[in-house]
Structure 1
Amino acid sequence: MAGSGPAPKDPSRRQRRNKDTVPQTVLKWESAEAPELPEFRIERGGDLVEFV
C-alpha cells in the first residue's frame, strides 16, 4: 500500500550523508637518519656510570 507513512526527508537535511567532513591529507614519507642520543649516566655505588 503506497503512500502510508511520512514523506521522506529532504536529502540536504539528513544528519548522516556518508561523506568525509574533513578533507584527507596525504603525508609524504621521507627516510631519515636517527638522531644521536645524549649520554645517560646513572649513579651506582657513588660513581656515575654510563647507562647502556
Structure 2
Amino acid sequence: LSVPLCPCRHGQLGHGILESEQQPRLVEALAGVPMQAVAAGGWHSASVSGKG
C-alpha cells in the first residue's frame, strides 16, 4: 500500500508518473510482495521486501 503524505511531485510514489496523488493507491509493481520496511522523504521512497 502506498500512502503519500506529501505532494510527491517527483515520482517518488512508485507509480511511474510525476503527478501528485490525492488518494492512496496500491503500487501495482509491488502487488502481492510482502514488505518488511517502508521509508519516505521529500525526494525519495524505499521499501524492503521479506527477501531483501
Tell me the TM-score normalised to structure 2 length.
Answer: 0.16
Whichever of the two has the greater Rg, that structure is 1
Greater length-normalized contact order (CA 8 Å, ≥ 6 residues apart) = 2
Larger strand percent: 2
